[in-house]
Amino acid sequence: MPAASTAANTVADRPRLERWIRFGVKPLVFGAALLPAASLVAGVFEWQGFALGANPIAAILHTCGRWTLNFILLTLTVAPIAQLTGRSEWLRLRRMLGLFAFTYALLHFLTYLVLDQSLDARAVMQDIVKRPYITIGFTALLLLVPLAATSTRRMMRRLGRRWQQLHRLVYVIAVLGVWHFYWEVKADVRQPLLYAGAVAVLLGFRWWKRRGSRSATLRAGVGRYARAFCSARAASQIAASTSGPPTQVASGIASPK
């Protein structure tokens, strides 16, 4: 009875949690995700004491790049939270966080293209080819494009199982983003190493869960084969015990009592 009542309470709480996430958590996360961009706009116009410092272009580049990594890590954190809590409703936040990651990545690149390089396409291409950290960052941005383009429910239904395979690229993007950050800072690598540690933990959790699910599937398969073997062996033993040898059967027919 306690287990049944707990399960019933969990099912009953599910719509309440879903409404709380949809109408409470999501608007708060959306508003919070706009704060870095709002602070940059305030810094450009020096509103309310905000300022971008002596090198405003570098400040915008670093802020957008850092928040791109933050949102990528937050996107990767949603699934472990849902699995650890047993609440799939948390997955409703994943698409929004992923789209904010793409938005800040695009702002990061546009700042470099428009403000830093003054729309000089030739200089940009030379940087992409000759400077490895820009090559890695640009590759990560290109990989983000199909993920953002296929983030709608319609594309999820259209792609089916291929949608999950495509969106696993987010792990590759996370590694490339941290790599880009590590090579870009050159001197103080403490922050990139912290991001690298966070990505390693998330990848390790995913590997652990996949290994556990495969082990469970293997154990279930072995159990089914073992039960089938035991059933077949028991059936053969029962059949052997109920039917006598052929010589006894023949003699019984030849000399009836």
Q: What is the pLDDT of residues 8-56, one digit of tens each?
A: 444 556 677 788 888 888 999 999 999 999 999 999 988 878 889 889 9
At 249, is the pLDDT very low, low, confident or very high (cuts 50, 70, 90)? very low
CA dist 32 and 241 (Å) reads 76
Is a pLDDT exceeding 80 seen at residue 137? Answer: yes
Q: What is the pTM of this model?
A: 0.77
| Top-level class of domain 10-216 | mainly alpha
In sequence order, the 6+-apart residues with CB closer than 8 A to the CB of 172 are: 143
Residue 233: its pLDDT value, please? 60
Instruction: State pLDDT tens for residues 188-212.
Output: 899 999 999 999 999 999 888 887 6
* Closest to 80 (Cα-Cα) out of 176, 167, 201: 201
CA dist 131 and 136 (Å) reads 9
Instruction: State pLDDT tens for residues 154-191.
Output: 998 998 889 888 999 999 999 999 999 999 987 889 99
CA quadruple 41, 45, 47, 53: dihedral sign: positive
